[in-house]
Amino acid sequence: MGDEEQPLWRRAATHTLHTSLMLKVMLEDRLHEAEGLLLADHEALLNIGHAEEPLRMSVIAQRLVISRGGTTKVIDRLEAMGYVLRRPDADDRRATVVELTRAGREALKRARPIIDAGLEEIWSAYLTDEESVVLIEVMDRVLEANQACC
Amino acid sequence: MGDEEQPLWRRAATHTLHTSLMLKVMLEDRLHEAEGLLLADHEALLNIGHAEEPLRMSVIAQRLVISRGGTTKVIDRLEAMGYVLRRPDADDRRATVVELTRAGREALKRARPIIDAGLEEIWSAYLTDEESVVLIEVMDRVLEANQACC
DNA sequence: AGTATATAGTCATCTAGTAAACTAATCTGG
DNA sequence: CCAGATTAGTTTACTAGATGACTATATACT
């Protein structure tokens, strides 16, 4: 269907986009059914859990690539579930920092195998290690290039 | 950050997902600002334009990976803009088929360079041809495998 | 033929996330 | 040191899309 006329990079980009969106839907379904979490919620938990110090709202917004208002809602949700805790930042009284509760850490532990199983089922059977390496390199490069510019 | 402990395919999957979502946001912004179209609208136009015959609503839903209700809204939008036309399917009176109008074809032509410029700027500078080939292959394989199953 | 079941599309309702206005705190330059 | 400009987060109003109920048509079974 005219696929042949397109430059390689264009097909690579559109195919990647399309497949990723499908992956997202499938993963989110599993996670939501099992733990009542959205992918954004999980991503937030992961980021907060990963960090050495409690994270600011604005940092979470950047990491999840969502708006500040959206971040407020994500953290509201997680706080209502008892998974995170908001505290005023001591250094900057405008800022709020967020940290995991014990329940949050446990939720994260429960979510891990669900995400893993989903990713494995959807991806790993269809990927060689060499291809994985290429994907990781490409995605990192593209991400970094575009984060720098905006 | 524990990134090293993860299997390759897991990192490949998460990086791809994350980068793709960012790409989507950036592309959609450009397209919406320039043409007042959402990425879903454009995808619908593309699919309809691509096909030899007018497409059914249900087929469009499948292609865009959105719900039937969502498809109704997409086509409502495009019809209001004068870009598509709904007609009852002669063969199956439950079904509706959608075709492009002249204005729709023109909108598609105008959108093309915007999408291209976006994709090129975001991607092409950071991708070798070899990498593009890998991406296309992998994405096709993953997509096909998961479309078959559900 | 005639009932049961499945399918196509729409509509009404709901939810996640955006965008812009708002509040409060911090930084900057005179 | 204080007036203006920035920045952090929240709130409100809105939008895209999902979900499920509903209508109309088509198919399958007996």
Banded model confidence at residue B3, pLDDT cuts 50, 70, 90? low
| Residue A9 to residue B119, Cβ atoms within 8 A | yes
Asked whether residue B43 is assigned to any structural domain, the reply reads yes
Nearest residue in chain B measured CA to CA from A64: B18
For B135, which of A15, A25, A126 is closest by C-beta distance? A15
Q: Per the structure, how many domains does chain B have?
A: 1
In a domain, A112, yes or no: yes
B124–A7 CB contact, under 8 Å: yes
Q: Looking at residue A36, what DSSP letter applies? A: S
User: In this predicted structure, which of A36-45, A58-67, B88-97, B124-133 has the lowest mean pLDDT?
Assistant: B124-133
Interior/surface letters B26-64, b for 16+ CB within 10 angstroms, e for the rest: bbbebbeeebebebbbbbbbbbbbebeebbbbebbbebb
Whether the per-residue pLDDT at B114 is higher than 80: the answer is: yes
Let me know: does B90 contact B108? Beta carbons within 8 Å: no
- Output the pLDDT for position B146: 77
* Domain-located, residue A6: no
Give the A:B interface size as CB pairs under 8 Å.
166
CATH code, domain with A120: 1.10.10.10
Short-list A51, A50, A25, A57, CA closest to A39: A25
Show the domain range for A99.
36-145
pLDDT at A82: 97
Flag whether B41 is in a domain: yes
Only one residue has tokens 């043409």, namely B35
Residue A13: inside a domain, yes or no?
no
Query: How far apart are the C-alpha atoms of A40 and B88, rounded to whole Å?
Result: 40
Whole-number mean pLDDT of chain A? 92
Mutate to test the interface with B, among A8, A116, A137 (most CBs of B within 10 A): A8
In this structure, is residue B17 part of a structural domain? no
Note the pTM of the prediction, 2 decimals. Answer: 0.89
Which of the residue ranges A52-56, A107-111, B27-31, B121-125 would you say has the lowest mean pLDDT?
B121-125
Residue A10 in any domain: the answer is no
Long-range contacts of B117-121 (CB under 8 A, 24+ apart): B117/B30, B118/B26, B118/B27, B118/B30, B118/B31, B119/A9, B119/A10, B119/A13, B119/A14, B119/B27, B120/A9, B120/A10
Mean pLDDT in residue range A106-126: 91
pLDDT reported for residue A149: 56
Sheet with strand B55-56: strands edge to edge = B55-56, B96-100, B84-88
Does residue B74 lie within any of the structural domains?
yes
Chain B residues closer than 8 Å to A15 by CB:
135-136, 139-140, 143
How many whole angstroms separate alpha carbon A100 and alpha carbon A42?
Answer: 12
Predicted local confidence at residue B50, as pLDDT: 93
Compare B2 and A6 and report the one with higher pLDDT. A6
How does pLDDT run across A48-101, given as a tens digit for each residue? 999 999 999 999 999 999 999 999 999 999 999 999 999 999 999 999 999 999
* C-beta atoms of A127 and B50 within 8 A: no
Weakest mean pLDDT among A2-6, A98-102, B85-89, B108-112: A2-6
Kindly state the tokens that stand for B126.
């950071």
* Mean pLDDT lowest among B55-69, B75-89, B102-116, B134-148: B134-148
